[in-house]
Structure 1
Amino acid sequence: MKNFKIAFVAIFLVVTALWLMADSLLPHPLNFFSFRKPFIQYSGIIGFTAMSVATVLALRPRWLEGRLHGLDKMYRLHKWLGIAGLSAAIVHWWFTKGTKWMVGWGWFERPHRPKRGLPDLSTLEGWLQSQRHLAETLGEWTFYFFVIMMIVALYKRIPYRWFQYSHQLMSVVYLIFAFHFVVLMNFDYWRQPIGMVMAVLTLCAVCCALLALCGKIGKKYRHTGVISALQHDGINQTTTVDVSVAGNTWGGHQAGQFAFLRFDGQDGAHPFTIASAWQTQAAKLTFVIKELGDYTQGLQQKLRTNMPVRIEGPYGRFTFKDTCDTQIWVGAGIGITPFIAALEQLRAQPQTERKHIVLYHCVKHISREAQQQLQTLAEQAQVTLHWYRDEIEGLLSADTIAGQVQHWHTTSVWFCGPMPFGVALQKQLQQHGMLGKQFHQELFHMR
């Protein structure tokens, strides 16, 4: 299991175990209302935990990127936590509000509850009790807004710029939820291990939310540059963008990494794979941008030479580092970009340090010029290049790889391209006996 999957499961197992040390979902006597009270607490803790960890991940911490094997895996965990937080919040909301409706419908009879006296404002517990109504009201209306923003984030037909705008407001949403959580969590929990853990997690996430609101995400790794050259390929529907980094501030990168680019006057920052090896003398980065989504559609008409660019990075762990003497590279469509950088980096290495590489480029259409450039680069790097066009050779399969690469069971596979294709290819290879840890795939999707 990949690290981010382990982390996702472990987060909820640990929190559940700590909560069970403080409470139970099987009170005595067991009925709907006796179950409802601790379950509201538990669902709130699960949902808030997911939101808190997602808020920390949104700050793109480098120390976590290494442990999760890349920012793409970190963002996948961030997305899963967002969905988990939304799911838990919906359940939490239903047990809170839905119960009142069901009582009104006559489905349940509300048990008698003694009236609460006025809280003692001289104590922390009393002050928190005095804020219950405000916390409940803010939490309810923020929940509705949170649901709308999550729909915007997950429904890919909504324009990318709206996704970015909604995510900028997530920090405000989290801060309101933090107030709701701190006030309404069972006060006795704060004296238990679950309370101590939630206190630390809340404090960390609140700090991250405030930093995000102040525009500090990735600030340490921001650089300025200008577009020095543009080249459009109508056949491949790609635009090659050369960016000169101002003042040689870019400290270098490894082939396979990516950076966030923000073009002057365009919406937000967007991740693009760096399609060139780093050369200190040139201080230039190359990006190949394909017209795929609403952000990149028509972007090439908006770009111009000498346009300012803000660069943030480098990020990613798709860097071809392993112990295998032979590697199989599969670049599908625009997924060839990290391999172009790797070829440039490889040809500059001494021959004794090079591994045996077999590169498959799967593509529907390619211009003669782009084909020749890739072929020449592969020859210079002494890499075996195979072309796979859908209309001619069909889709690349594990059978094809097994027939063309000797001892392929002991190799590693590095895949970049459409996710369904990568998942299918990995499944085929594993059915042929390849270990899952030998297959490396970029999972980077902003949505």
Structure 2
Amino acid sequence: MRTISKVFVGFVLAVTGIWLVSNPDLFAASSFISLRHFMVQYSGFLAISMMSLILLLSVRPVWLTRRLGGLDKAYRQHKWLGIAVLVVATLHWAWRMAPKWGVALGLLERGRRGPRPDGAGLHWAQSLFNEQRGLAETVGEWAFYVAVALILIALIKRIPYRWFARTHTVLAVIYLVLVYHSIVLLDFTNWATPVGYVLAVMLLVGTVSSIIVLFGQIGAGRRSTGEVIEVDYLPEMKSLQIAIRSDGGWKGHLAGQFAFVRFGNSNEAHPFTIASAWRDGVPGLTIIAKKLGDYTNTLYETLKPGDRVALEGPYGTFVLDREKLHQIWISGGIGLTPFVAWLEDLVANPAKLEIDFYQVAPHCDPELMARINDLAGRAGVRLREWRDARDGFLTGEKIRSDVAHWQEAQVWFCGPRQFGEDVKNDLVAAGLHSYAFHQELFDFR
């Protein structure tokens, strides 16, 4: 979370600093109307800059997601930028509408329109932009209304995922409309300042990303196909264990990574953590899908061996670290999937690590638990099966009392977000360095 906050705040401060350096007259504004002009320009510049970064993140560039701490962190950044855009774009609209509201409320006098400039002596581009102002303002306003609706659909989790998936792509079209809006309505003098240079780069990056989105080319270089070879229902966990055989295009993965998977004729690709280690000569992977939403619910009724599978990946940086000698693993519920892959990897490629694994769940299927026990024993991992009804809720205090030298350990957590935050806060407050706690943020909405 610290990286996400730093990138978010750093980006906003950088964009704001560029704006202030290029527009020092803001501080000399002597009237509400002149201040309003600067604020409309600044809020529009900030909003379209953040939207450009959102579009870049949406195409899942591996070089960028690695620096953010993994695709899960990149999508969390994507989400918070979306919320920020909603706020800033609303302020942009409010500043633009403020004179009308002020006149209607009697707070401002209706200004007299001066003579329309004839355009003599203007740069040809400035003349062209002036002719387009009315259209740019109109399409920008309607694009704002549509964007607000689409962002709310993305944020409200009660709205089915399939609606979100189908409507979210439309934001790429809205972005292109707002590119036109931004080019025409930016103060022409700003194009020769750092604001203009930065905006040109951001709009180019966002436009290319939008085209990639609209033509369905996200992750095109990381795609492969396969088929389902086995489906096992795990009733205690209300989950499906799905074995997939690759047609040969899947080039391997690190234990703990995840893939976007699309089954059968579905148009929706969903992220699933890979619950198996990669083995040369065995072109396949296993995922565990928990019954959580409208999409995964249908898998229980429709998925069967022989069904075709489309894969994209692998992604993620929540992978086994063989350099940290003392580790604590904590899984909550379905969060055990990356650790199963880690255990397999340790069995296949042993390492001298001291590991305490807290496998926390209300229940776990006997067959899966037997497999985890077997893998843990062969890997030399101290497995602690933690059941809430029997052991109470797992806390950082209990971990500190169980594990010797816990301050020197690296802690890896995958499970419910609040559970992880509670454990982290306790351990950090008691002396664990915050950078030693690694948490998978597997939430893409």
Same fold (TM over 0.5): yes
SS at match of 1:235: coil
Look up the match of 1:442. Answer: 440
Letter in 2 for 1:393: D
Shift of 1:17: 0.7
> 1:403 and 2:401 equivalent?
yes
The structure-2 alpha-carbon separation of the partners of 1:275 and 1:29, relative to structure 1 and needing over 3 Å to count, comes to: closer
Q: Which of the numbers 418, 421, 424 marks the counterpart of 1:423?
A: 421
2:390 corresponds to which letter in structure 1? I
- In the TM superposition, what is the alpha-carbon distance from 1:268 to its structure 2 partner? 0.7
Offset from partner CA, 1:22-77 (integer Å, 9 cap, x none): 21474445332121010000111111111010011101001101111100111111
The aligned residue for residue 200 of structure 1 is 201
Q: Which runs of 4+ in 1 moved over 3 A?
A: 24-29, 110-113, 118-122
Distance 1:150 1:304 in 2: 35
Paired with 1:323 and 1:99, the residues of 2 have a C-alpha distance of 62
Partner amino acid, structure 2, of 1:327:
Q
Q: Which moved more, 1:414-423 or 1:96-105?
A: 96-105
Amino acid at match of 1:439: F
Q: Which residue of 2 aligns with 1:50?
A: 50
Secondary structure, aligned partner of 1:134: helix
- Sequence identity, in percent? 41
Distance 2:287 2:430 in 1: 36
- 2: CA distance, partners of 1:299 / 1:319: 27
Deviation for aligned residue 1:271: 0.2
Task: Give me the whole-angstrom Cα distance separating, in 1, the residues matched to 2:386 and 2:113.
Answer: 71
Q: Deviations over 1:395-428 (max 9, x none)?
A: 1111211122111101000000000101111001
Q: Is residue 332–residue 415 contact of structure 2 (8 Å, CA) maintained in 1? A: yes
Q: Which moved more, 1:431-440 or 1:15-24?
A: 15-24
Match of 2:130 in 1: 129
1:314-360 deviations in Å (ceiling 9; x for gaps): 0000013274311000010000000000000001113xx33111100
Offset of residue 119 of structure 1: 3.9
User: What does residue 314 of structure 1 align with?
Assistant: 314
CA distance in 2, matches of 1:267, 1:203: 28
**TM-score normalised by the chain length of structure 2:** 0.97
Superposed, which structure 2 residues align to 1:2-401 within 5 Å?
2-24=2-24, 26-28=26-28, 30-119=30-119, 123-246=124-247, 248-321=248-321, 323-350=323-350, 353-401=351-399
Q: Which runs of 5+ in 1 are unaligned?
A: none
Distance 1:267 1:223, change over 3 A: same
1:201 CA displacement: 1.0
Query: Quick one: which amino acid aligns to residue 210 of structure 2?
Result: A
Change (3 A) 1:98 1:302: farther
The answer to whether the 8 Å contact 2:22/2:190 transfers is yes
Unpaired stretches in structure 2, ≥5 consecutive residues: none
Stretch moving more, 361-370 or 338-347: 361-370
Secondary structure at 2:432's aligned position in 1?
coil
Moved more, 19-28 or 40-49: 19-28
Secondary structure at 1:295's aligned position in 2?
A: helix
Where 2:196 maps in the other structure, the secondary structure is helix
Q: TM-score, normalised on structure 1?
A: 0.96
Write the distance in 1 (CA, Å) between the matches of 2:295 and 2:329: 28
Give the Cα–Cα distance (whole angstroms) in 2 for the partners of residues 322 and 255 of structure 1.
Answer: 11
Deviations 1:70-92 (A, max 9, x none): 00111111111111111110000
After superposition, the CA RMSD in angstroms is 1.5
Question: 2:223·2:249 contact (CA, 8 Å) conserved in 1?
Answer: no
Deviation of the 1:303 alpha carbon: 0.6
